[in-house]
Structure 1
Amino acid sequence: MLPLAVTGLLALSACQFVGQDDPAGDAHRLNTMESFPLHAYLPDPSSDGGRAIGRAQWILAKKCMVRLGFPAFAVLDTKAVESTYPVRQGNLASRSTAGDDSPYGVDDPDVAAEHGYHNRSQDTEESTQPQEWPAEQYVALTGMFDSGDSHRAHGNPVPEGGCLGEATRRIYGPAPKTTKAGGLKLTGYFSLPLELWYESHKKARKDPAWKKADRAWSACMKEQGFRYPDPDEASVDTAWYRTEKPSDKEKRTASADARCKLDTDYIDTVHTIESRAQKKVIGERKQDLDAMRAANERAVGNARTIIEKA
């Protein structure tokens, strides 16, 4: 699964001397989604254009919900829901902190010694947050049906993708064909860069230099008493997911993991390989990627027009 939680770039300390090496800082800087070439083709929901699209989606969805027989939506304050995504009532579970949502996992031995692999971002200022809706409203908003759910709301057919899906098509145009990446269906308007990200990562992992980096990291871990073939195997050890808080063993393992990444220059090595693979696929699909970017710019223009008319 593609990591889609974005972490911030590391700011270099003002007290560093000019020219002083900072391998830990470099590793952290590279261990972010933003540091990859394909990231430039993914939308930024927090940008002016991203916020305009979110606002327009809810303006249109509000009208659709009234049309489907939910009169209370006529007075819905769309500003209160613009930065949210709908969740069916009763399904809003607390997010597990197990796992690490950076591309290459833990990279700070001190942080890992405290949190282990329970280092998933819990940033409260994420661009979107979940919001619960009653089942009937949730179905009408999303077009996502559970067994037994009616495909009609107050006698009116629920549009494909619900009112939010209908709104998105009004803004972007017809949805692109469904693609797959790692067994997952990608149906969004930005499925192409995600598909290319997955494919380039898969190819990069086959590079002999990547495999050599895995072996160096594994040898380092073995010296400290931990046997894993690569960092992915260490981070997804099922033992870490049995408790909400990290065990002492998990903390020791994660700290050693991060230290071995620094000692073997692991992140810099594999990031270089993966970035090269991404640049290659960008060159091969540049026309398609540029067309997608142009379509997004048109969508932003459509969204702003919808907002002005509202």
Structure 2
Amino acid sequence: MRKLLPLAVTGLLALPACQFAGGDDAADEAHRLNSMKALPLNAYLPDAASRDGKAVGTAQWLLAKRCMVRLGFTGFKTLDIRTVDSTYPVRQGTLTSAGKVGDNSLYGVDDPDLAAEHGYHNRRREESDDQPMEWPADQYAALTGTFESGDSHRAHGNPIPEKGCMGEGVRKIFGPEPKPRKVGGVQLSGYHWLGAELWYQAHKKARKDPAWKKADRAWSACMKKKDLRYAGPDEASTDSDWYRTDEPSAKEKKTAEADARCKRDTGYIKAVHAVDSRAQKALIAKNEKQLDDERAAFLRSMANARKIVDDLS
């Protein structure tokens, strides 16, 4: 259970026990709903942090390691996969630290205590956030199939496969890659485009729903009482002022804390989650067979990844 905000003893004693417990339950429920896992379409998206998801990453690197040796990079024979697992290659000289501003949750900050301490610099660390290794230009090109001007498309006389050794590994796990699709002006590629496409469509529709707009207005009115003027939580969390420093300013902390409190006081997360969920369920009902087929294909690929790991480890 999260730490409660400091309360005057007299105020605490004046609260009925059932009211206090109910408030805590509501906060916990809002926190639970503030996650991709709480929405229906999450069941149709791969989870990189799961046991099967990690097997894919390990299998991809094992296959890439073998491919790189084949291309003439003999030093890869002794590459310890554990040093690169859960990462993707970065070209030497281009590695930058990930921005600290942001929040991995769906609807932004929801805990006033954490927000008061970290502001919007509260991005939770995931397995996929592991620091990638930098690779020399020739190895990077061979690993990823990404070339800059002057880079050779061959390595030690051998042709580099499409999308490099990493891409070759993915194709051996999942099979031929589907053709890219453009959704809302964004090019989507990969093996699970339908779930991502439907997520985008559902969220776009949900944001136009009167219930969502009503939630935004209630939250905005709450913030205005605290002398903070934002049309919605997204506008507050992406204020350009927050990106100017590595550490949160006093103003950012104040805004983030108010943001989280107003979400709780207005029932914001529960309201918008219901709209998002309703929109996703409608699209799942229309595309259920194709989604089920893609999920079955993904499960077969997971089994393939585990077999590759067993064979090559």
TM-score, normalization: structure 2? Answer: 0.88
Pick from 154, 159, 162: which aligns with 2:161? 159
Q: Select the structure of larger CA radius of gyration.
A: 2
- The alpha-carbon distance between structure 1 residues 56 and 291, as it changes in their structure 2 partners (threshold 3 A), is same
CA contact under 8 A between 1:99 and 1:118: conserved in structure 2? yes
User: Which has the larger displacement, 269-278 or 171-180?
Assistant: 171-180
Matched, 1:24 2:18: no
Q: Aligned AA for 2:28?
A: G
- The alpha-carbon distance between structure 1 residues 153 and 302, as it changes in their structure 2 partners (threshold 3 A), is same
Match of 1:229 in 2: 231
* 1:130 positional shift: 1.7
Matched, 1:132 2:141: no
- 1:264-275 alignment to 2 at 5 Å? 264-275=266-277
- Could you say what secondary structure the match of 1:63 adopts? helix
Q: Distance in 1 between matches of 2:255 and 2:309?
A: 51
Match of 1:54 in 2: 57
Pick from 107, 116, 119: which aligns with 1:116? 119
- The alpha-carbon distance between structure 1 residues 304 and 251, as it changes in their structure 2 partners (threshold 3 A), is closer
User: Which has the larger displacement, 160-169 or 77-86?
Assistant: 77-86
Instruction: Write out per-residue CA displacement over residues 284-309 of structure 1, whole angstroms, 9 at most, x where no aligned residue.
Output: 11111111111112212222333343
Unaligned stretches of 5+ residues in structure 1 = 1-9
Percent pairwise identity = 61
Give the aligned length: 298
- 1:211-222 alignment to 2 at 5 Å? 211-222=213-224
User: Which has the larger displacement, 96-105 or 198-207?
Assistant: 96-105
Q: Aligned AA for 2:302?
A: V
Q: Distance in 1 between matches of 2:290 and 2:130?
A: 28
Q: Distance in 2 between matches of 1:19 and 1:114?
A: 23
- Could you say what secondary structure the match of 1:180 adopts? strand
CA contact under 8 A between 2:84 and 2:132: conserved in structure 1? no
Pick from 276, 285, 288: which aligns with 1:286? 288
Q: Aligned AA for 1:136?
A: D
Instruction: Write out per-residue CA displacement over residues 32-57 of structure 1, whole angstroms, 9 at most, x where no aligned residue.
Output: 11111111112123333223322222
Instruction: Write out per-residue CA displacement over residues 223-263 of structure 1, whole angstroms, 9 at most, x where no aligned residue.
Output: 11111111111111111111111111111111111111111
* 1:99 positional shift: 2.0
* 1:20 positional shift: 3.3
> How large is the Cα RMSD of the aligned pairs?
2.4
CA contact under 8 A between 1:45 and 1:127: conserved in structure 2? no
Matched, 1:169 2:180: no
Q: Distance in 1 between matches of 2:280 and 2:3?
A: 26
CA contact under 8 A between 1:97 and 1:121: conserved in structure 2? no
- The alpha-carbon distance between structure 1 residues 116 and 47, as it changes in their structure 2 partners (threshold 3 A), is closer
Q: Distance in 2 between matches of 1:11 and 1:51?
A: 30
- The alpha-carbon distance between structure 1 residues 19 and 262, as it changes in their structure 2 partners (threshold 3 A), is closer
Q: Distance in 2 between matches of 1:41 and 1:211?
A: 28
- The alpha-carbon distance between structure 1 residues 48 and 242, as it changes in their structure 2 partners (threshold 3 A), is closer
Unaligned stretches of 5+ residues in structure 2 = 5-16
* 1:198 positional shift: 1.1
- The alpha-carbon distance between structure 1 residues 269 and 114, as it changes in their structure 2 partners (threshold 3 A), is same
Q: Distance in 2 between matches of 1:40 and 1:12?
A: 31
* 1:12 positional shift: 12
* 1:17 positional shift: 7.8
Q: Distance in 1 between matches of 2:55 and 2:132?
A: 19
User: Which has the larger displacement, 198-207 or 279-288?
Assistant: 279-288
User: Which has the larger displacement, 87-96 or 48-57?
Assistant: 48-57
User: Which has the larger displacement, 244-253 or 199-208?
Assistant: 244-253
Pick from 250, 259, 262: which aligns with 2:261? 259
- 1:42-81 alignment to 2 at 5 Å? 42-81=45-84
* 1:182 positional shift: 4.5
- The alpha-carbon distance between structure 1 residues 208 and 256, as it changes in their structure 2 partners (threshold 3 A), is same
